[in-house]
C-alpha cells in the first residue's frame, strides 16, 4: 500500500476518532538487511515485496513487528538465490 492509498482509505473514517496504527516503510526493511549477522543489501524491489507481504499476510493476533518483517525478508531473500 502506498501513502496515497492509505490516505484514501483513511478518508472514510471520522478524522477525530482515536486509533492505534503501525507504519512500516521500505527503509525499515533495508535497515533490517543491514542489521543481519551477515549484512545483506536489500534492493528497493525486495523491500517493497517484504512490505507487501507484511500487509497481505498480516495477522491481528500477532501484529506487525520486527519478527514478522524478518520472516518475510528471509523468505524474499531465499527466493532471490
Supply 31's cell numbers.
535497515
Buried b / exposed e along 34-70 (16+ C-beta atoms within 10 A):
eeeeeebebeeebbebbbebbeeeeeeeeebeeebbb
Instruction: Give the pLDDT confidence of 26-50 residue by residue, as tens digits.
Output: 999 999 999 988 888 999 999 999 9
For residues 55 and 53, give the distance between their C-alpha atoms in angstroms, rounded to a whole number: 5
Label residue 18 exposed, middle or buried (CB < 10 Å: 0-12, 13-18, 19+).
Answer: exposed
Note the pTM of the prediction, 2 decimals. Answer: 0.86
pLDDT band at 52 (very low <50, low <70, confident <90, very high): very high
Average pLDDT of the chain, as a whole number? 93
Amino acid at each position: 500500500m502506498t501513502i496515497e492509498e492509505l490516505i484514501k482509505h483513511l478518508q472514510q473514517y471520522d478524522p477525530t476518532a482515536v486509533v492505534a496504527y503501525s507504519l512500516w516503510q521500505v527503509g525499515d526493511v533495508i535497515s533490517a538487511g543491514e542489521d543481519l549477522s551477515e549484512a545483506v543489501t536489500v534492493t528497493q524491489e525486495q523491500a517493497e515485496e517484504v512490505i507487501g507481504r507484511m500487509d497481505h499476510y498480516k495477522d491481528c493476533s500477532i501484529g506487525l513487528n520486527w519478527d514478522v518483517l524478518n520472516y518475510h525478508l528471509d523468505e524474499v531473500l531465499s527466493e532471490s538465490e
